[in-house]
Amino acid sequence: MTEQSLYKRNLTALGLLLVIGLGPLAALSLGSRYADEETLARAEAGDRNYDPPGIFADSSFGLPNLTGAAAQTTVMDITENDALFDDFSRALEVANMKEVLQGPGPVTVFAPTDMAFQKLPQAEREALLQDPSRLVDVLSRHVVHAELSATDLLQRERVETLGGESLQVDRSGTAISIGDADITQSNLAAGNGVVHIVDAVNL
């Protein structure tokens, strides 16, 4: 075998090795290209067919279904058994309004915490907590004769309180606002209604 023939033979063998070695890579590259094109097409189709959920989705803000002993609880149980609401509970007692929260309902209570009461000037707070007639007016602004979850509130412009007043529902900020108070925790469910904790007293 001449040197030239040997050179051609080696060159042919090298070519075969390159084909064998690079063949799968070429196939993989081609497959990836088509896979990327298919993924892009599916994504574009998904964008065209996407129907965004409503901003008031009930799954995030709805009330739980209570059963057993929990279904027998009242909104009064929630506020009376929590140290956050000592002033609110005292106010309800002075105003003789506990029965409203213990009744069959349904009721929604916007319960101010002790810190909410402490935002009032001390003299005004002490005078308020000793004035049954005014307390009835003030506390009635925090009770609605209906069961309203956070979802329900998000879909309302106003709510009518137990005292017959209409309070604005504001959804423009990071929290739902009722009158001058922001809801800091929502959907504390009881058998006869729901409690939403608020950070201010609606006077």
Reported as a single tens digit per residue, the pLDDT across 14-61 is: 444 444 454 544 444 444 454 455 544 554 444 444 343 333 333 345
Where does the pLDDT of residue 174 fall: very low under 50, low under 70, confident under 90, or very high at 90 and above? confident
Q: Would you say residue 157 has pLDDT above 70?
A: yes
Q: Pairing relation of β-strands 143-144 and 193-198? A: unpaired
Where do the H-state alpha helices sit in the chain?
Answer: 3-49, 58-61, 75-80, 86-94, 98-102, 114-118, 122-128, 132-140, 150-154
Kindly tell me if the per-residue pLDDT of 10 is higher than 70. Answer: no
User: Minimal CA–CA distance to 144: which of 188, 185, 111?
Assistant: 111
Confidence tier at 179 by pLDDT (50, 70, 90): very high
Kindly list the distances between the CA atom of residue 26 and the CA atoms of 34, 38, 48, in Å, as whole numbers in the listed order. Answer: 12, 18, 33
Could you tell me the pTM of the whole model? 0.69
The dihedral through the CA atoms of 79, 82, 86, 87 has a sign that is negative
